[in-house]
């Protein structure tokens, strides 16, 4: 089992809902551990957001799930992350606090060069932003 921090379309009810992705691939449902934040800058790519992690940024809201190891490959495919290739999305680790506990999570930030000219989501919340634009 692994943990993952999701901040965009992988969140519940969004286009790539993590639970639906698991179900489509006959993988055990992920377990929601709680909400968390990662400091950075969130950008609007149109159909999805991209996070550039940065301690000087805002608190970007997301959810932390415990997932079956098999789901990692599915998430990597959704985010177009492939071994040895660094394109728009990256697979990284981040430490977050969930209900007072520090959890090491996989997450999918974007390369800083990918956000040039894109609008920043200053609220740090993709779901709220998408619903109000």
Residue 84 is predicted with a pLDDT of 72
- Cβ neighbours of 108 (radius 10 Å): 23
Residue 74 is predicted with a pLDDT of 97
79 in active site? yes
Confidence of residue 50 (pLDDT cuts 50, 70, 90): very high
Q: Is 24 helix (H, G, I), strand (E, B) or coil?
A: helix
- Asked whether residue 44 carries a pLDDT value surpassing 90, the answer given is yes
> How far is the C-alpha of 66 from the C-alpha of 16, rounded, in Å?
17
> How far is the C-alpha of 36 from the C-alpha of 38, rounded, in Å?
7
Residue showing tokens 């692994």? 2
Mean pLDDT of the chain: 95
Residue showing tokens 């519940």? 12
pTM, 2 dp? 0.95
Confidence of residue 41 (pLDDT cuts 50, 70, 90): very high
Domains of the chain by residue range: 2-115
89: exposed, middle or buried (C-beta count within 10 Å: 0-12, 13-18, 19+)?
Answer: buried
Q: Of residues 59, 79, 86, 128, which has the active-site annotation?
A: 79
Which CATH code of 2.160.10.10, 3.10.490.10, 3.30.413.10, 3.40.50.800 fits the domain covering 2-115? 3.10.490.10
> How far is the C-alpha of 61 from the C-alpha of 5, rounded, in Å?
9
Which candidate, 54, 102, 74, places its Cα nearest to that of 10? 74
Q: How many angstroms from the chain centroid is the CA of residue 10?
A: 6
pLDDT, mean of residues 2-29: 97
> How far is the C-alpha of 124 from the C-alpha of 66, rounded, in Å?
22
């Amino acid at each position: 089992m692994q943990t993952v921090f999701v901040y965009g379309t992988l969140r519940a009810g969004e286009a790539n809902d993590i639970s639906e992705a698991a179900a489509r691939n006959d993988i055990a449902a992920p377990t929601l551990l709680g909400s968390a934040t990662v400091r950075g800058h969130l950008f609007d790519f149109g159909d999805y957001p991209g996070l550039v992690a940065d301690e000087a940024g805002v608190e970007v809201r997301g959810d932390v799930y415990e997932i079956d190891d098999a789901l990692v490959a599915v998430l990597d495919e959704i985010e177009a992350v492939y071994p040895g290739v660094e394109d728009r999305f990256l697979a990284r680790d981040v430490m977050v606090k969930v209900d007072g506990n520090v959890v090491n999570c996989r997450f999918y930030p974007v390369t800083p060069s990918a956000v040039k000219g894109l609008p920043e989501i200053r609220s740090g919340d993709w779901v709220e932003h998408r619903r109000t634009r």
